[in-house]
């Protein structure tokens, strides 16, 4: 095994380090800003009534998401290992138990499960690049766009092909390592996506029912809120910030010592939340302008944007560019989801990164066919929460991620000593005290309450 002690006694990662603070911020933002913001946030907000859900989501991001993200990064940097080994190592160092490794394993497994269905949806973006480039949506009506999307989901061969292609691209990047693979990928993809979203916002303002979209997103109707909606909001906060799934802890392991965890976390949370809201401001005005329903579900972005862009001058070009960039966003998130499991396999079984990426990628690819078939040959085979896709989404988003986040906050806030956490967060100032209160009190209580009602509702 390679040594993980530097000359100053600090641990070093076996996988390399980010070259700069900006590289880390782009990587974490890339992991966070993916389909969770542009695909999932609008349709989940649409299904849960809009404005009231958005308020709860923002509260969850600030009060729970921020302290948990900081906790996950500081744990990752302190241990400098994959999430499983890091939690085991720090558990023993802090005088607790090595059984904390199971929290790390929960995050690794959650990432694998999420990527198994995430890859299927990401595959849709690849197919829509081709559809857009060939002019499929130019001048199309809402009925035609919806019918095309429904026909695509029923095509088992095409769904399987794009899922396979997307997983192959993800394996390729992860196999190349931190600086040659992960960092190079996000340096271009994240700024490009943000630029295109701003362009689309301009189109939405001038061509959509922008007032109706703004009203839907920012006018709360609390009568539409249920405990299920609150749980969905917290799960979405975890999903979109990539916390509780091992990705942030793994990326934290590659973070240079001189980088401020508080500053980096605040930047990521602000960027991620802004892009989620931006996606809503792009999509909902177009939904209302074209007579579509905001609660259309997982297919919302694949129906709304092709329809809207198909009507504008140069629509085929803009639609193609959008889905290319959406696929980039999905790609950066998939890389983050896969990295913890690959790092664990490299360290625990001494595999090369290429071997580990192929093994983990192949496993995720096989699991993904449960979600591929959920839209066609297994669409009528439902259990518990619905199809295989529905159950994976529920299990990860509403149970595994909040549970992982709860234990991460408890570990960082209660198990790790003040000296250890203060060392990583740079002292005992106001920001440190705010984090400690959030990690020790607000996040655990908030997560526990919502989890209680979630379990109560399904038992």
pLDDT band at residue 75 under the 50/70/90 scheme: very high
C-alpha 412/C-alpha 396 separation (Å) is 22
pLDDT band at residue 178 under the 50/70/90 scheme: low
pLDDT at 401: 87
State the angle between helix axes of 142-154 and 300-311 in degrees (0 to 180), rounded to the nearest 10. 140
Q: Which DSSP symbol is given to 20?
A: S
Most confident of the ranges 104-108, 262-266, 273-277 = 104-108
How confident is the prediction for the chain on average, in pLDDT?
85
State the angle between helix axes of 227-241 and 401-410 in degrees (0 to 180), rounded to the nearest 10. 70
CA 62 to chain centre: 16
C-alpha 262/C-alpha 46 separation (Å) is 32
pLDDT at 459: 67
- Quick one: tokens of 419? 């000296």
pLDDT band at residue 378 under the 50/70/90 scheme: very high
C-alpha 245/C-alpha 152 separation (Å) is 30
Residue 19 above 70 pLDDT?
no
Q: Which DSSP symbol is given to 221?
A: -
Higher confidence at residue 142 or residue 61?
Answer: 61
pLDDT tens-digit map of 120-167: 999 999 999 999 999 999 988 888 998 999 999 999 999 999 999 999
C-alpha 234/C-alpha 237 separation (Å) is 5
Alpha-carbon distance values, 421 to 103, 266, 374 (Å): 18, 17, 44
Cβ-based neighbour number of residue 266 at 10 Å: 15
Least confident among 52-66, 109-123, 249-263, 372-386: 249-263
pLDDT tens-digit map of 282-316: 888 888 887 777 777 777 788 877 887 787 777 88
Residue 30 above 80 pLDDT?
no
pLDDT at 20: 67
Q: Could you give the 3-state DSSP secondary structure of residue 49?
A: coil
Residue 118's nearest CA partner among 211, 239, 18 is 239
pLDDT at 8: 45
Q: Can you give the pTM of this predicted structure?
A: 0.86
Residue 186 above 80 pLDDT?
no
Provide mean pLDDT across the span 414-433: 90
pLDDT at 24: 73
Q: Which residues contact 380 (CB under 8 A, 6 or more apart)?
A: none
Give the CA count within 13 Å in the CB-facing half-sphere of 391: 13
CA 192 to chain centre: 18
């Amino acid at each position: 095994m390679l040594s993980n002690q530097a000359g100053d006694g600090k641990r070093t990662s076996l996988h390399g380090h980010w070259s700069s603070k900006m590289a880390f911020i782009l990587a974490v933002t890339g992991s966070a800003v993916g389909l969770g913001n542009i695909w999932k946030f609008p349709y989940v907000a649409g299904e849960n009534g809009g404005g009231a859900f958005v308020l709860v989501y923002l509260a969850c991001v600030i009060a729970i998401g921020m302290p948990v993200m900081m906790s996950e990064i500081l744990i990752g940097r302190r241990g400098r290992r994959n999430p499983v080994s890091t939690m085991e190592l720090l558990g023993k160092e802090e005088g607790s138990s090595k059984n904390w490794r199971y929290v790390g394993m929960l995050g690794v497994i959650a990432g694998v499960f999420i990527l198994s269905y995430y890859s299927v949806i990401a595959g849709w973006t690849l197919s829509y690049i081709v559809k857009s480039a060939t002019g499929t949506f130019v001048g199309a009506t809402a009925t035609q766009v919806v019918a095309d999307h429904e026909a695509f989901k029923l095509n088992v061969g095409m769904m399987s092909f794009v899922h396979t292609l997307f997983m192959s691209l993800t394996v390729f990047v992860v196999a190349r390592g931190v600086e040659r693979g992960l960092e190079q990928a996000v340096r271009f993809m994240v700024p490009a996506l943000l630029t295109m979203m701003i362009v689309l916002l301009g189109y939405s303002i001038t061509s959509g029912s922008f007032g109706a979209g703004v009203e839907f997103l920012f006018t709360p109707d609390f009568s539409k809120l249920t405990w299920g909606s609150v749980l969905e909001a917290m799960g979405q906060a975890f999903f979109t910030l990539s916390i509780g799934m091992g990705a942030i802890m793994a990326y934290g392991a590659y973070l240079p010592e001189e980088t401020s965890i508080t500053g980096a976390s605040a930047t990521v949370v602000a960027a991620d939340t802004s892009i989620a809201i931006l996606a809503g401001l792009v999509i909902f005005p177009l939904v209302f302008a074209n007579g579509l329903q905001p609660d259309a579900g997982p297919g919302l972005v694949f129906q709304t944007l092709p329809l809207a862009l198909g009507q504008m001058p140069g629509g085929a070009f803009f639609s193609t560019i959008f889905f290319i960039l959406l696929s980039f966003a999905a790609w950066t998130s998939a890389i983050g989801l896969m990295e913890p499991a690959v790092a664990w396999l490299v360290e625990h079984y001494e595999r090369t990164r290429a071997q580990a990426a192929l093994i983990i990628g192949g496993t995720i690819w096989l699991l993904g066919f449960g979600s591929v078939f959920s839209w066609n040959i297994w669409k009528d085979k439902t259990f518990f929460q619905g199809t295989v896709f529905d159950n994976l989404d529920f299990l990860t988003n509403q149970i595994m991620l909040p549970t992982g986040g709860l234990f991460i906050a408890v570990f960082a806030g209660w198990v790790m000593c003040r000296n250890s956490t203060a060392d990583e967060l740079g002292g005992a100032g106001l920001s440190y005290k705010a984090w400690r209160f959030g990690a020790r009190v607000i996040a655990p209580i908030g997560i526990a309450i919502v989890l209680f009602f979630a379990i109560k509702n399904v038992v």
